Amino acid sequence: AQSVTQLDSHVSVSEGTPVLLRCNYSSSYSPSLFWYVQHPNKGLQLLLKYTSAATLVKGINGFEAEFKKSETSFHLTKPSAHMSDAAEYFCVVTPLNTGFQKLVFGTGTRLLVSP
Amino acid sequence: DGGITQSPKYLFRKEGQNVTLSCEQNLNHDAMYWYRQDPGQGLRLIYYSQIVNDFQKGDIAEGYSVSREKKESFPLTVTSAQKNPTAFYLCASSATGLDNQPQHFGDGTRLSIL
């Protein structure tokens, strides 16, 4: 079975400061991991994905995430927050190479960015 | 531009009424999905389809029905049996059902009870 825990329901940062959104996963199989972003009343947009290649994954808009198997973590970071980063972020896991892609979503972290 | 179109953006349902949410994609994707999003609960899978004329129940299929008569279209019907339908509904598609293909999402339909 797979599960995802997003450790913070809300994270507040100031514009220009670093962002850290934490995600821990549990998976019976080698996982694929994704981060998605959702702006209000919009669908989800893929930020980045990990599928057993490089453990440091670079995504869009300056975000990156590092897969740490020993810590079962896949935290999302950005060196400098922008006002437009304010949104909800979802960490998602699915088992790798097992056929159908059933995604398991975390409960989300709302990022607030103040001027 | 390729993408997923969901309509309507807002929908209201009366007691005892069935309503249908539309989802159309022009990405030539084989697999399509319906999710329900409630505050603080992330997304939950309602139904999915890996190929035309075939679909399977997800985790919360009760009170919902789907069809997949065309590759581009995957409508969701919220029936009167769904007692708590108020939610944000998201449709997604992927190139195949395999795990290394990310899912692409539409902008959602917000359903409310009158």
Assign B25 a pLDDT band (cuts: 50, 70, 90): very high
- For residue A14, the surrounding DSSP H or E stretch is strand A10-14
Q: Give me the percent of chain B exceeding a pLDDT of 70.
A: 95
Q: Over 80: is that where the pLDDT of A1 sits?
A: no
Q: Where are the alpha helices (DSSP H) in A1-115?
A: none
Q: Which residues of A touch B (CB under 8 A)?
A: 9, 32, 34, 36, 41-46, 49, 51, 90, 94-103, 105-108
Which residue would you say has higher pLDDT here, B16 or B45? B45
- Is residue A73 predicted with pLDDT exceeding 60? yes
pLDDT at A100 over 80: no
- Contact check, Cβ <8 Å, A90/B90: no
Place of tokens 């899912």: B103
Cis amide linkage into residue A115, ω under 30° from 0: no
For chain B, the first-to-last Cα distance in angstroms comes to: 35
- pLDDT, one tens digit per residue, over A14-53 is 999 999 999 999 987 778 899 999 998 889 999 999 987 7
Nearest-neighbour CA in chain A from B18: distance (Å) = 23
User: Could you read off the pLDDT of B52-103 as tens digits, one per residue?
Assistant: 999 999 999 999 999 999 999 999 999 998 889 999 999 999 887 565 678 8
Residue in chain B lying closest to A50 (CA): B100
Question: What is the distance in angstroms between the Cα of B84 and the nearest Cα belonging to chain A?
Answer: 20
What residues form DSSP beta bridges with A36? Answer: A46, A90
> Among A46, A97, A102, whose Cβ lies nearest the Cβ of B45?
A102
- Record: contact A108-B42, CB cut-off 8 A: yes
* Phi then psi dihedrals of residue A85, to 5 deg: -80, -10
Token digits for B107?
């902008």
Q: Which residues from B are below 8 Å from A105, CB to CB?
A: 42-44
| pLDDT of res. B83 | 87
- Give the pLDDT band (50/70/90) at residue B38: very high
pLDDT one-digit tens code per residue, A103-115: 889 999 999 999 9
Contact status, residue A36 vs residue A49, Cβ threshold 8 Å:
no
Mean pLDDT of chain A: 91
**SS3 of residue A85 by DSSP:** helix
Q: Which residue has the higher pLDDT, A3 or A83?
A: A83
Distance CA A44, CA B78 (A): 22
Are B110 and A41 an interchain contact pair (Cβ–Cβ within 8 Å)?
yes
The reported pLDDT for the residue numbered B16 is: 85
Q: Please give the pLDDT value at position B96.
A: 75
Q: Do B42 and A101 touch (CB under 8 A)?
A: no
Which positions in chain B have a beta carbon within 8 angstroms of at least one beta carbon in chain A? Answer: 4, 6, 31, 40-45, 48, 50, 58, 88, 90, 92, 94, 97-108, 110
DSSP state for residue A5 in the 8-state scheme = E
